[in-house]
Structures are given as C-alpha cells and as structure tokens.
Amino acid sequence: MAPIRVALIGLSASAKTSWAVEGHLPYLLSPKGKSKYQIVALLNSSVDAAKDAIATFELPASTKAYGDPQDLANDPDIDLVVNNTRTDVHYGTIKPSIEAGKHAYVEWPLAHSVPAAIELRDLAAKKYVRTMVGLQGRLSPVILKVSEVLGDGENGKIGKVLSSDARAFGSLLRRDRFSEGLAYFADRKIGGHPVSIHFGHMIDFIHSVLGEFSSFQSHAQVQRPEVFITSGHWSSSNDTSSVAGTIKSDVPDLVSVQGTLKSSDLISEGATLTVTYRNGPSFPGTPAFVWTIAGTKGELRVTSPEGPYLQSHCYGSDDKPAGIKIEVHNYGSNTVETVPWHWSDLQKSLDMRFAHSGGKAPWPTFGDAVVRHKQIAQILKAFDEKSVTS
C-alpha cells in the first residue's frame, strides 16, 4: 500500500518551541514512519518560512511549500494534514483542509474555545473526515497497562474501584516564570496554557481508564498573578535562564477537581475521583505525580518522578528503574507487587516516546477533544464566577 501523503502545519526552522520537531518528525523520518507516511508539503506563516523549514530539516526537494491554509487545502495530492501550531491558530489553519475532505490530526488542545472545537468536530463529521487529536496519554504503555491490571472490575487485580486520587506537579514549568517562547501560557484567551495542556492531558488519561464524572466540583487559584519571563534554558536539573521581564497572568496555577464517577462493571456506585494539579516542581525528594486507585481487593499506585507526562519523554524505560512505576497492594496477602510495563522497540528508538495505539485501543478523536474542552471550560467558568463574587 502506498504511504499516506502528509502535510505538516507548523514545522518551523525558527520556532522557540516545536512539538512538530520533537514529537512528529523523528517518527515520520524513521524507517518505520517512512514505510507508512510521506511528507509531501509544509504550511508555515509564509512560503519562504516553509521553504526554510524544508531546507533546515533536509526534506525532499519535491516537498511543497505553502503559506496560506486554503492553498494547502486545494492540493489534491495530500491525504492527511497534521497541525502543530499554537492553539489559537489551530482553527484557522486546519478548517480549510477539513472542508476539502482531508483527514486531520491536530495537537491538543484542539482549538482556542469550546465553540470552535465543536465546529471542527461537526464539520469533520459532515465531510466524513477521520480525525485524531493529540491526547496520546491514553495510549501510552503505562495507561494501557493500568487498564489491563484493572480488568473489568472483580476480575482485575484490585476488584471494583471504590475511589481514586491523583496529585500532580507541572515539573516542566517553573513555579513563578515562563520562558519567552511560552509567555502565552499566562494568557487564557490563547487556549493553550498549563490548565488546558498539562492538567488536560492528565485528566484525560485518568478518565480514559476510569470513565467520566457523573458530577464534579472544582476549585482553581491564580497563586502568582504576575510571573517572570525568562530567556535561555531551564530544566529541573539545569538553569541557564535569565529574567527578561514580567507579565500578568489570568491562568490558574492550581486546580483541584473532585467528583463522582459514573458506575460501571469497573466502577462501584458512588466512587470518588479527586485530582489536584499545581505548576512547578514538587517538594524535593517526592514524586511529581502520584495516582492511586483503591478497589475492593487491593490498591494500585502509579508514581512518576517527572510529573504526569506519561505519553512522552525519556524516563521510565526498562533500564531506568527510577522512572515511572506501577505497583499493586493486595489486601488479602498484604503484599506489594511491582507491575512491569514496556516501551515498544519503536518508542525506545526515538528521542521522544510518541505513543501509538498498536491496535490495542482506539485513538482519541475530535469528539473526545470536545468532551475534554467542555470539562476544562466548566472548571474555568467556576473559577471566574468565584472571582466575581468574592
């Protein structure tokens, strides 16, 4: 079968941050990727910017360069459009291609607002377009293994779920500052920020295992309404950044959600889920992500030193025992078992572990994205209403 012809939106030679470069390109240029996909076009802010990216990443000379979304949509030699731009331009850059009947992959968040996300979902359905959104955490090997351990309730290792609790820290972010390339994280109207991205990815893979809330309440807080903007590089083990200024933030840096899960063969009637997220590293020496699921027969715990980013990043592999761990406490025997999980050989070969279903689970669609958008919008609405009345 001929490779699927792919157009990338947002593969930039000059971007300060680019998931296209880190998350998509390594796979698409791997032998496995090339056997299934062929990059045939790029869309950037201008034709010249697209040409620069083609040269920088040494793509074939036949790769077409576009600077207008409609021109890309009009190209009959493109099967799939992959959108990696900043969230506030997802809608405008992908809609023409969906109108033209092209299949679409859009990074999460799908759009800058709930109405825009709903419009893209409905348009794709009308045009019979297959869609995927970058909520790949639900397809990570960790999450697939957790679902396997839980089974279908009483037949799983911990029995039917009675309650679950997750506490996470956005350890890829500083507590009180963003880099220049992520300054828009302080501006809620952009649509892409720590609540929608970091919290959104986490709550999505949790719901993919446990199902959705039947009802929930939330609390959010802007702990630091003014944050520093830095130039340079920062990671949890390296800081070469310097302060370049400050910016006002209207994005909560702490979110807490508690609610009742919908009952099922897996979930007991009235089971509670509590999730808390806070920007910045955790207390030194403590995991940046701890997720417990208590059942009738035992309890499961997932821990990660780096935070809730179970879909990517090079930690938690078979040869890194300090990475992500899945453990099960059996109540009857009072023993704790460590459950092995594995990256695929393909994931091990790439710098960024990009999750894929491998036929084990359906991929997240625009419809799934709308569900998550509505949940996050409800959390932010509750925050706004509390702020107005307090």
**Stretch 103-116: mean pLDDT:** 97
Domain total of the chain? 2
In a domain, 386, yes or no: no
Please say whether the beta carbons of 197 and 253 come within 8 A. Answer: no
Q: Say which residues have a Cβ less than 8 Å from residue 175's Cβ, sequence separation at least 6.
A: 224, 253, 279, 280, 281
Of the pLDDT bands very low, low, confident and very high (cuts 50, 70, 90), residue 112 is: very high
pLDDT in tens, 217-251: 999 999 999 999 888 655 545 565 688 789 999 99
Closest CA to 189 of 49, 118, 87, 48: 87
In a domain, 299, yes or no: yes
Task: Provide the domain limits for residue 159.
Answer: 137-363
Structure tokens at 136: 């790949």
Please say whether the beta carbons of 241 and 231 come within 8 A. Answer: yes
Of the pLDDT bands very low, low, confident and very high (cuts 50, 70, 90), residue 22 is: confident
Q: What is the CATH number of the domain that holds 286?
A: 3.30.360.10
Q: Say which residues have a Cβ less than 8 Å from residue 334's Cβ, sequence separation at least 6.
A: none
What values do phi and psi take at 5, rounded to 5?
-85, 120
Statement to judge: residues 79 and 114 lie in one domain: yes
In a domain, 368, yes or no: no
Statement to judge: residues 125 and 166 lie in one domain: no
In a domain, 354, yes or no: yes
Statement to judge: residues 187 and 268 lie in one domain: yes
Q: Dihedral (C-alpha) 135, 141, 147, 148: value to the nearest 10 degrees?
A: 150
Closest CA to 282 of 256, 304, 314, 257: 304
Statement to judge: residues 128 and 176 lie in one domain: no
Statement to judge: residues 17 and 120 lie in one domain: yes
Q: Other CB atoms closer than 10 Å to residue 382's CB: what's the count?
A: 16
In a domain, 390, yes or no: no
**Stretch 177-187: mean pLDDT:** 86
Q: Which is more confident, 31 or 48?
A: 48
- The pTM score is 0.91
Statement to judge: residues 113 and 146 lie in one domain: no
**Stretch 160-180: mean pLDDT:** 90
